[in-house]
Each structure stands twice: as C-alpha cells, then as structure tokens.
C-alpha cells in the first residue's frame, strides 16, 4: 500500500543475516532494517496486597535489555501519610522505579525510564512493592509493567 508516495518495504519472518549482525533470526524488517519490538511483563497490585507487600511482574531472560517501567494507577492509593510503589528485583527492589517517581495518590500513568536496568546477566524476576504509613489504605490499584527487548 502506498501512502503519499511512501511505500515501506516490510518483511515478516526469518532473513539470512551474517552471524555478526546485531540482530538476527526471527524479526520484523522495515526497509531491510531489523526492528525488535519492546516487550513487557506486568501484573496488578492493590492496596491490600499481603506480606511481603510485593507482587511478581514476571521473569526476564538473561540478555534482555531493560528500559524502564510503566505504572498506571487506576484507583488512587489513600493511606494516611504516604503511599509508595517501587519496582525492581529481589536484590534491589527499587532499581527501576523508586519512591517519588509515581504519584500513587492520583489516577494516571507514569513512564519511568531514567533508571533502566541495563542488560541482564542472568534470568531475573521483577517485582512491584507497595508500602504505606499513617492510616491504612482502603483503596488503591495499579497496573505495572517492565519494558525490555531481546537484542
């Protein structure tokens, strides 16, 4: 299909490329340039999450390039003093999203990429954790995802 004189060359599937090519195997090609889609693992966390107040977002494979996280607060968290959502690994629970990156008290979406996790050296599980102070929250829900690609 041509649109305003532009006819992109798109191929789906496997193309023979040298072993030294930065991206090979199954891929999408646009004008013979390999494109790797950004993927996401994610889950839902609510105000009443049980101890240890964290939910697994899923496992990312060794070699995955982690770009950041998306946090979509769909119902505001209403703890008395503070509401904090962080995203990270078991070893570093806030290595992608730290306190202050997200406004948990308001409905909205935050894309946090300033703390990307780099390229993973081993299979790694990511978590979202909710902590609160003051009066206990009675509402709050967020959908959280970790953005990554397989280079």
How many domains would you assign to the chain? 2
Task: Tell the residue number behind the tokens 């040298």, with chain if given.
Answer: 18
Structural domain including 26 reads 1-35
Residue 74 sits in the same domain as residue 17? no
Q: What is the mean pLDDT of the chain?
A: 83
Residues 24 and 49 reside in one and the same domain: no
- Whether residues 25 and 46 share a domain: the answer is no
Q: What is the CATH classification number for the domain harbouring 94? A: 2.60.120
CA–CA dist 85, 82 (Å, integer) = 10
Assessment of whether the complete model's pTM goes beyond 0.75: yes
Same domain, 28 and 46: no
Rounded Cα distance between 63 and 123, Å, is: 8
The answer for residues whose C-beta is within 8 angstroms of residue 12's C-beta and 6 or more apart is 28, 29
Residues 72, 142: one domain? Answer: yes
Tens-digit pLDDT profile for residues 37-85: 888 999 999 999 988 899 999 999 999 999 999 999 999 999 999 999 9
> How much is the average pLDDT of 114-134?
90
Co-location of 88 and 132 in the same domain: yes
């Amino acid at each position: 299909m041509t649109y305003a004189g532009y006819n992109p060359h798109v191929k789906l599937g496997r193309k023979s490329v040298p072993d030294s090519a930065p991206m090979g195997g199954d891929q999408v090609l646009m004008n013979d340039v390999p494109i790797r889609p950004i993927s996401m693992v994610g889950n839902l966390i609510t105000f009443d999450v049980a101890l240890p107040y964290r939910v697994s977002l899923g496992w990312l494979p060794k070699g995955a390039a982690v770009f950041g996280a998306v946090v979509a607060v769909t119902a505001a968290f209403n703890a008395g003093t503070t509401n904090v959502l962080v995203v990270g690994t078991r070893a570093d629970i806030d290595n992608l999203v730290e306190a202050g990156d997200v406004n948990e008290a308001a409905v909205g979406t935050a894309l946090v990429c300033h703390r990307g996790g780099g390229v993973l050296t081993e299979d790694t599980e990511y978590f979202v954790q909710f902590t609160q102070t003051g009066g206990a929250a009675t509402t709050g829900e967020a959908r959280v995802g970790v953005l990554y690609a397989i280079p």
